[in-house]
Chains A and B, each alone.
Chain A
Amino acid sequence: DQQVKQNSPSLSVQEGRISILNCDYTNSMFDYFLWYKKYPAEGPTFLISISSIKDKNEDGRFTVFLNKSAKHLSLHIVPSQPGDSAVYFCAASAVDQAGTALIFGKGTTLSVSS
């Protein structure tokens, strides 16, 4: 059973608008969440993370929101740019298990049109 779910396989938005990528998790032990971006033929690149002691983390155009009670997080990109077109993976782990593997969702393909 998937512990990290990205229910939307794809998302299309126009340049300048907001992109919202969603992620749900089932394991209440998860307390650290990351978003990775992946371009074709490249490895995933770390984008932004959030610890469960926070409900929001912002880095430039990227903001991650965490709703622990709903076991839901989202990545907001605003304004979206064509270069943001990529596959976005949500990942989770338990901080107190240092260095353990990340559990990834299946990814959402974002397409930003100009």
Chain B
Amino acid sequence: GAGVSQSPSNKVTEKGKDVELRCDPISGHTALYWYRQSLGQGLEFLIYFQGNSAPDKSGLPSDRFSAERTGGSVSTLTIQRTQQEDSAVYLCASSLGNQVNEQFFGPGTRLTVL
């Protein structure tokens, strides 16, 4: 497809379980971002990948959160030992990575931790 895709669209899990969220960015986009939107909040930056550079992890809320980007394309966000406060919509975005910061967003994964 032409846009950013994310899977699954919805994920319900039990507290303490691990989850993996996937993002397929737009082909050719070198920059990839993960954000999350909790209820009533704006988008909160989590992590940023640019090409082969070390990722900017400054937004990750705890060490239970990690992300990988394989081959400069697909990215996986992993949340270990999920907590109820992790419930949110997790959004992935990609951009050309140049100085124009227009980021293209995927539809998001709605995570619910029971």
Contacts and interface: CB of A to CB of B under 8 A. Distances in A.
Interface of A: 4, 6, 32, 34, 36, 41-46, 49, 89, 91, 93, 95-96, 98-107
B101 to A, nearest CB: 5
B48 A49 contact: no
B18 to A, nearest CB: 24
Nearest to A41: B107
B65 interface: no
Nearest to A45: B105
Chain A binding surface SS class: loop
A44 B107 contact: no
Contacts of A101: 33, 35, 45, 48, 56, 59
B75 interface: no
B108 interface: yes
Contact of B99 (A45, A89, A98, A103): A98
The winner among B30, B91, B100, B103 for most chain A CB atoms within 10 A is: B103
Contacts of A91: 43
19 contacts: A36-B105, A41-B107, A42-B107, A43-B91, A43-B93, A89-B43, A93-B101, A95-B99, A95-B101, A96-B99, A98-B98, A98-B101, A99-B95, A100-B101, A101-B56, A101-B59, A103-B45, A104-B42, A106-B42
A1 to B, nearest CB: 13
B106 interface: yes
B14 interface: no
Interface in B11-66: 30-31, 33, 35, 40-45, 48, 50, 56, 59
Given A34-B101, A43-B106, A93-B101, A102 B42 contact: no
A102 B95 CA distance: 12
B72 interface: no
A7 B101 CA distance: 24
B42 A34 contact: no
